[in-house]
Amino acid sequence: MPGLDAPLVLPSGQTLPNRIAKAATEEFLAVEGQLPGAELVELYRRWAAGGAGLLITGHVMVDGRALANPADVVLQQGTALAPFRRWAQAARSGGGRAWLQINHPGRVVGADMRGLAWSASDVRVEIGRYSRLYPRPTPMTPAQIEEVVDRFATTARLAEQAGFDGVQVHAAHGYLLAQFLSPLTNRRADAWGGELAHRAKLLLDVVAAVRGRVGSGFAVGVKLNTADFQRGGFDEGDAARVVDLLAESGVDLVELSGGSVESLATHGHTADGRTLAREAYFLDLAARIAPGAPVPIMLTGGVRRRPVAEDVLAGGVSVVGMATALALRPDLPGRWLRGERAEAPAPRVRWRHKVLASAATQAEVRRRLARLGRGAEPGDRFRFRTSLVRELLDRRTALRRYHRWLDTAHTTSPAHTSS
C-alpha cells in the first residue's frame, strides 16, 4: 500500500507529489465580471502552502447564462485570463498540481437568476417546499448538447492557457452531466437516453472534446457519483461501468463522491434510507470499484483524520480528497505528511430539517473560506445560524451584480465567437 507521501504518476504522465488532494469546494467568491479575485488567490495560496499534492478548484461555470449560484466564477470564450493566471500561480506555489473544476449546473439554477435551466428532461428538483427555488428545466436539443460539449472544451483550453495543470469535469452532485447519467432525471428516448451507454454519451463526448483541445501532458479528471442515493437512481454498478468507459477515453483520475441537492450524501444524509459512515462516507461503495479500476481513483467525503485517510488508500484508492476539513485546517496535509496525528473538527448542525442543516453547514464552511481568503485564521467557533443568514444576504448582492453582468456580457456559443 502506498503511503500518503508517495508520488502518483497519472496516465498523461503528470505526477502528483503525494496522495492528498484538496477536493473542490463551493467558495462563492467571484468578484465583478464573475472572475476570481484577490480572496480566491489568497485562499489557494494558503492551501498550496498546506502541502496537498493536488488542488482542485471550486466549480467554474462553462456558460455565463447558467450558474448554480450568482457568486460562481465563469470561464468562457472572451473571459479575461489574467485573473485566472494569478489564481493558477497561487494554487501551484506550494509545488503541487492545480486543476480547474469545470461545470454546467443544468437544472440546478435558482429560479431568481434569469439564466438558462437546461437538463436531459423536464424533471424538476424535488426538495419539498423548497422545490420552488428551482425552475422546471427545458429538455436540451441536440444542438444545445453540442454547444455544451464545445463549451466544456473551450473552458479547458482556456484553463491550460491560464497555467492550470489540468481540469476536472464535474459529473456528480446532480449537475448537468449527472442529470444525463441518472435514470431519474434522464427520460430521453434518443441517442442520449435509455441504457447507461447512451446516458453516458454526453460525459464521454465532453471528455473526448476536452482531451482533443488540450496538450497531451494536461491532466483531465472526472468527478463522478458512486450513487445518487435515491431509489431507482444512478448506483455503484453504474459508476463502475462508467469508470471503465472513462478509462478508455484517456481520463487521468476519477474522483468518487455522491449525492445531489435532493439527497445530501455529502453531509451524511441520503434519500434512499441508506446509512453512511460518519467518516469517509463513500468508502464502502468505492471499495467495490477502486481495486479493479483501470484508472486511478480519488475518494472524497468526510475524511478528517490521518488513520481514516490511510484506510482509504488501503482500500485500493489512489488519492484521498478533502474539502470541509481543509476549510477548517488548511495545513492538515503537511502535518500528516510530517507524521502528525492532527485532525479537523466535524461541523455538525443538530437541526431536524436536513435541507436547512445542510445549507447552514455549507454557509459556515464558506465563512471560513472567506476568512482564509482575507488572510485571517478560519477560527474555532461554529456560527451556523449567523453564517446562513449572512450568506442569504450576500446572495442578494451577488445576484444584482450577476444580473448587471449578464445584461452586458458576451455569452453566445463559443462556436460563434472569435478566439
Give the end-to-end CA distance of the chain in Å, rounded to a whole number.
Answer: 46
Q: Given a cut of 90, is residue 120 above it in pLDDT?
A: yes
Q: Given a cut of 90, is residue 20 above it in pLDDT?
A: yes
Q: What is the pLDDT of residue 88?
A: 98
HSE-up (13 A, CA, CB side) for residue 370: 15
Q: What is the pLDDT of residue 227?
A: 66
Q: What is the pLDDT of residue 234?
A: 79
**How far is residue 336's CA from residue 5's CA, in Å, rounded to a whole number?**
9
Q: What is the pLDDT of residue 347?
A: 77
Q: What is the pLDDT of residue 276?
A: 35
**How far is residue 261's CA from residue 224's CA, in Å, rounded to a whole number?**
15
Predicted confidence (pLDDT) per residue in 294-348, tens digit: 999 999 888 999 998 998 999 899 999 999 999 999 999 999 999 999 999 887 7
Lookup: cell for 354: 436536513
Q: What is the pLDDT of residue 419?
A: 29
Q: Is the dihedral of CA 246, 292, 265, 34 positive or negative?
A: negative
What value does the mean pLDDT take over residues 127-146? 91
Query: Residue 408 class from Cβ within 10 Å (0-12 exposed, 13-18 middle, 19+ buried)?
Result: exposed
Q: Given a cut of 60, is residue 136 above it in pLDDT?
A: yes
Predicted confidence (pLDDT) per residue in 227-239, tens digit: 665 565 678 888 8
- pLDDT bucket at 412, cuts 50 / 70 / 90: low
Q: What is the pLDDT of residue 243?
A: 94
Which residue, among 27, 23, 20, has the nearest Cα to 373 in the 3D structure? 27
Q: What is the pLDDT of residue 235?
A: 82
Predicted confidence (pLDDT) per residue in 378-395, tens digit: 887 888 888 899 999 999
Query: What SS3 class is residue 147?
Result: helix
Mean pLDDT of the chain: 89
Q: Given a cut of 50, is residue 81 above it in pLDDT?
A: yes
What value does the mean pLDDT take over residues 36-52? 98
With helix as H, strand as E and coil as C, how does 221-246 read?
EEEEECCCCCCCCCCHHHHHHHHHHH
Query: Look-up: residue for cell 491550460?
Result: 160
Q: Given a cut of 80, is residue 66 above it in pLDDT?
A: yes
Q: Given a cut of 50, is residue 269 above it in pLDDT?
A: no
Percent of the chain with pLDDT over 70: 90
| Structural domains for the chain | 8-409 (3.20.20.70)
What value does the mean pLDDT take over residues 354-381? 87
- pLDDT bucket at 242, cuts 50 / 70 / 90: very high
Q: Given a cut of 80, is residue 281 above it in pLDDT?
A: no
Q: What is the pLDDT of residue 236?
A: 82
Q: Given a cut of 50, is residue 291 above it in pLDDT?
A: yes
- pLDDT bucket at 264, cuts 50 / 70 / 90: very low
Paired sense of beta strands 35-36 and 30-31, if any:
antiparallel
Q: What is the pLDDT of residue 221?
A: 98
